Amino acid sequence: MIITNIKKFVYDAIIIAIITYCLAEIALRLSYPYLPEKIGLIVDEAKHITYCNTRLHPIKDLNIRGIILPPYEQKNLAFVGDSFAFGHYVQEDSGFVSIIQHSTQQSVVNLGVTSTHTAQYNRMSVVSLNYKPKHLYYCIFTGNDFGWKDMDTTQQLLAKDKNIYLPKDPFIKPTDIELNVKLAVYWKQVTNYSLLLQFLKLISTKYHTVKNVPIFYTKDHANNKFSLIGKNHFNKIFRWEDERVQRKFGVIINRLVKVNTFAKENGMQLHVIILPFKEIIYSDFVPEKAALSIPEYHDYIKRLETALIAKQIDYYDATPDLYEKAKQGEKLFFTFDGHFNERGNAVMADLLIKRFNLAAH
């Protein structure tokens, strides 16, 4: 009797899962005319969640997340940063770090970690020593890294405290990850991009105060709209008169000085890459009522560049070049999400190869 009940339970669960999957697929197909961006099968959309070479995983019985690192082999270039360097929502080969490696035949290690900030970038810069790189590329995303979170000015470069989201060395191996954690990650891959971003954000005002605005020069139905965050959200982050903004600016400069000193002491050359958010890139290409001119942002970036020059830290602000690509009609970001799409990653890789003369090495 017990075995029969178990079989019936398993059978019912399988049938429910199949029906749910089929209904979801039908809903996605029928909803296409109302979605700003074409969507594929759920299993295809799941692949937009990158299978990159660093990933966070919960560690059993510890209130920390572990990071899987590539094998310790000598690499010429190392990249640190958040989800932009990591290659969020695109497959591993489509991220700009991977494209640089494939296009230039450079040996590259990607140490980007999703949902981290400059304190963690500094920590991963220390980790990069395991790969003995000659160049360290430090990717700052202006949409997150200049906010008021992560304000601890006492954070040391070599800190291994669990509060910066990294366990103590050594880092975990793929075999250390439990099956239930893997399944949870896969489930998120299946549902996050295809369902959350498409449906919830379609009607959400929490995330986007300017929703689905047309871009003047595009014609294709699948590419002619963006969801953009309103300028009021960014004004408070970059308004220099706010004492909190000045404090965080000092924190960032302090961390950059530390990592630059660390890089020099260990035979690396630091290059800071400034990555803008899509509202800045497309601010001039939306209807007037949705205009997103953010003068506070440009003033802030000028101050940042002045400080980097004064500290003799090499940097590249990708904003002007990405703006020119947008002006030519390029769609570089996902409709809902703020990350580079596949085309944006390809453009970013090309810009970095040219700016740092990587193809010549």
Instruction: Give the whole-angstrom CA distance, residue 261 versus residue 255.
Output: 10
Task: Kindly tell me if the per-residue pLDDT of 337 is higher than 70.
Answer: yes
pLDDT by residue (tens digit) across 238-259?
Answer: 889 988 889 889 989 989 999 9
The three-state secondary structure class of 282 is coil
Q: Among candidates 237, 310, 312, which has minimal Cα distance to 276?
A: 237
Instruction: Give the whole-angstrom CA distance, residue 296 versus residue 33.
Output: 38
The three-state secondary structure class of 172 is coil
At 322, the amino acid letter reads: L
Number of separate domains in the chain = 1
For the chain, the C-alpha Rg in angstroms (whole number) is: 22
Instruction: Give the whole-angstrom CA distance, residue 314 versus residue 71.
Output: 28
In a domain, 195, yes or no: yes
In a domain, 164, yes or no: yes
Beta pairing, strands 65-67 & 56-58: antiparallel
Domain that holds residue 55: 35-360
pLDDT by residue (tens digit) across 284-297?
Answer: 776 655 556 678 88
Q: CATH number for the domain including 147?
A: 3.40.50.1110
Instruction: Give the whole-angstrom CA distance, residue 93 versus residue 101.
Output: 9
Site of tokens 């953009």 = 228
Task: Kindly tell me if the per-residue pLDDT of 148 is higher than 70.
Answer: no
In a domain, 182, yes or no: yes
Site of tokens 């560690």 = 59
Give the phi and the psi of residue 61 in degrees, each rounded to 5.
Answer: 70, 5
Instruction: Give the whole-angstrom CA distance, residue 273 versus residue 316.
Output: 5
In a domain, 180, yes or no: yes
In a domain, 62, yes or no: yes
Instruction: Give the whole-angstrom CA distance, residue 117 versus residue 24.
Output: 35
In a domain, 243, yes or no: yes
Q: Among candidates 80, 77, 72, 134, which has minimal Cα distance to 266?
A: 134
CA–centroid distance for 337 within its chain: 10
pLDDT by residue (tens digit) across 77-130?
Answer: 999 998 899 887 777 788 999 999 999 989 999 998 877 788 888 888 988 988
In this prediction, what percent of the chain has a pLDDT beyond 70?
A: 61
